[in-house]
């Protein structure tokens, strides 16, 4: 574990390198704050990078549509403009409040000392809900997948998608021009996805939609070849030819050590006031992990951006009481 001197103390340590954390890094640099970024994942981008790098995002201001991976690339370029120190692939395990108004963020590899901390850890660590069918382990990573790393992998494949939320429907729409055939099954006739996406799903002739259907079993040799699905009302079975199955039935989120740091929580999120301050002085939270008091909680990228800007500017004044809260406009500064 590296030893840190007083001169090495950061103005702010950002825990989480997803979109909110990356934008916060830019803003911290813009406010001339010495910045550290910590994330357990060895690459930046959070869920955008891990779960859906090839999905289009449509609700980021200034981009009618942009691939998640391209948004991450742009955010990372912006985030590193002022040269923050990156601690990627390191899991934050402890938060210690020191007597000299500094805070120690302890990771599994380092101890980072900072004058303030911003937690932008999203939903925490996440793992996909898995199937409970025979032979699933044999085909996981070969024919059964929970993430899409590359759309090209599914080219000319007979694809079965299991799920009824945004991920399942979005991937069906994204892959319909790539896969040979797509079948979507859902255990109900009501989808949790965005209304416009469901409308597009049903109007896409390339996609077969089967409701009240669940996956019973899979079979093949070294490669997946078929799946048995069944109607959960009648138990009637149907065998379909598939090369690949994409399972999008949700994720288990775990805040991990964050839940033990003495932060006031509300429904698995950190309670913050209008200035993104937690109950611990000098510790802020923004993005999906934050639950602002007397406000609507919207887990959107754009909301995280706004909260990051508020948190950083308040943190700037916390670490330097003489600093102005309003940063001025970036267009007025140097490029």
- Per residue in 12-51, pLDDT (tens digit) is 999 999 999 999 999 999 999 999 999 988 889 988 887 7
What distance in Å separates the CA atoms of residue 29 and residue 9, rounded to the nearest whole number?
15
Q: What is the pLDDT of residue 333?
A: 61
Helix, strand or coil for residue 159? strand
The model's pLDDT over 275-310, given as tens digits with 9 standing for 90+, comes to 999 999 999 999 999 999 999 999 999 999 999 999
- Residue 219's Cβ-count burial label (10 Å; 0-12, 13-18, 19+) is middle
User: How many residues are listed for the chain in this entry?
Assistant: 335
Q: What residue ranges do the domains of the chain occupy?
A: 6-126+252-332, 130-249
Please name the residues in contact with 334: beta carbons below 8 A apart, sequence gap of 6 or more. none
* Angle formed by the axes of helices 68-79 and 19-30, nearest 10°: 20
pLDDT-derived band of residue 335, with 50, 70 and 90 as boundaries?
very low
Percent of the chain with pLDDT over 90: 73
The model's pLDDT over 199-241, given as tens digits with 9 standing for 90+, comes to 999 999 999 999 999 999 999 998 999 999 999 999 999 999 9
**Max alpha carbon distance in the chain (Å)?**
72
List 114's β-bridge partners, or say none. Answer: 10, 103
What distance in Å separates the CA atoms of residue 157 and residue 175, rounded to the nearest whole number?
10
What distance in Å separates the CA atoms of residue 307 and residue 298, rounded to the nearest whole number?
11
Q: What is the pLDDT of residue 7?
A: 56
- Averaged pLDDT of the chain: 92
pLDDT reading at 248 higher than 80: yes
Place of tokens 């590899």: 109
Identical fold between 6-126+252-332 and 130-249? yes
Place of tokens 């008091």: 293
What single string gives the DSSP state of each residue in 246-277? EE-S-EEEE-GGGGGS---EETTEEEE-TT-B
Look up the CATH superfamily of 130-249: FAD/NAD(P)-binding domain (3.50.50.60)
pLDDT-derived band of residue 141, with 50, 70 and 90 as boundaries?
confident
Residue 67 or residue 308, greater confidence: 308
Pick the CATH number of 6-126+252-332 from 3.40.50.1460, 3.50.50.60, 3.40.50.800, 3.40.50.300: 3.50.50.60
Structure tokens at 273: 């006031």
pLDDT reading at 334 higher than 70: no
Pairing mode, if any, of strands 244-247 and 158-162?
Answer: parallel
The model's pLDDT over 95-131, given as tens digits with 9 standing for 90+, comes to 999 988 899 999 999 999 999 999 999 987 777 888 8
Closest to 245 (Cα-Cα) out of 219, 263, 281, 280: 219
Q: What is the pLDDT of residue 303?
A: 96
pLDDT reading at 2 higher than 70: no
């Amino acid at each position: 574990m590296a030893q840190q001197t007083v001169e090495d103390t950061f103005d702010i340590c950002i825990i989480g390198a997803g979109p909110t954390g990356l934008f916060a890094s830019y803003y911290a640099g813009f406010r001339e704050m010495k910045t550290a970024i910590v994330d357990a994942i060895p690459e930046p981008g959070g869920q955008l990078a891990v779960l859906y790098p090839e999905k289009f995002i449509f609700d980021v201001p200034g981009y009618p549509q942009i691939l998640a991976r391209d948004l991450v690339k742009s955010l990372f370029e912006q985030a590193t403009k002022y040269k923050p120190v990156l601690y990627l692939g390191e899991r934050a395990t402890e938060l210690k409040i020191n007597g000299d108004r500094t805070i120690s963020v302890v990771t599994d590899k380092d101890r980072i000392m900072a004058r303030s901390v911003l937690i932008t850890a999203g939903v925490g660590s996440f793992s996909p809900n898995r199937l409970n069918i025979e032979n699933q382990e044999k085909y996981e990573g070969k024919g059964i997948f929970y993430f899409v790393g590359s759309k090209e992998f599914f080219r000319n494949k007979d694809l079965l998608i299991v799920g009824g939320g945004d991920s399942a429907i979005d991937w069906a729409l994204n892959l319909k021009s790539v896969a040979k055939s797509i079948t979507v099954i859902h255990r109900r006739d009501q989808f949790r996805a965005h209304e416009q996406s469901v409308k597009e799903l049903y109007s896409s002739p390339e996609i077969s939609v089967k409701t009240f259907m669940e996956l019973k079993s899979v079979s093949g040799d070294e490669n997946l070849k078929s799946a048995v699905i069944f109607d959960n009302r009648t138990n009637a079975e149907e065998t379909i030819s598939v090369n690949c199955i994409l399972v999008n039935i949700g994720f288990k989120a775990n805040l991990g050590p964050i839940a033990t740091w003495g932060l006031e929580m509300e429904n698995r999120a950190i309670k913050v006031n209008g200035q993104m301050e937690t109950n611990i002085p000098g510790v802020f939270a923004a993005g999906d992990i934050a639950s602002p008091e007397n406000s609507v909680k919207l887990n959107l990228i754009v909301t995280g951006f706004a909260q990051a800007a508020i948190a950083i500017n308040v943190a700037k004044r916390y670490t330097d009481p003489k600093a102005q809260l309003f940063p001025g406009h970036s267009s007025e500064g140097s490029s």
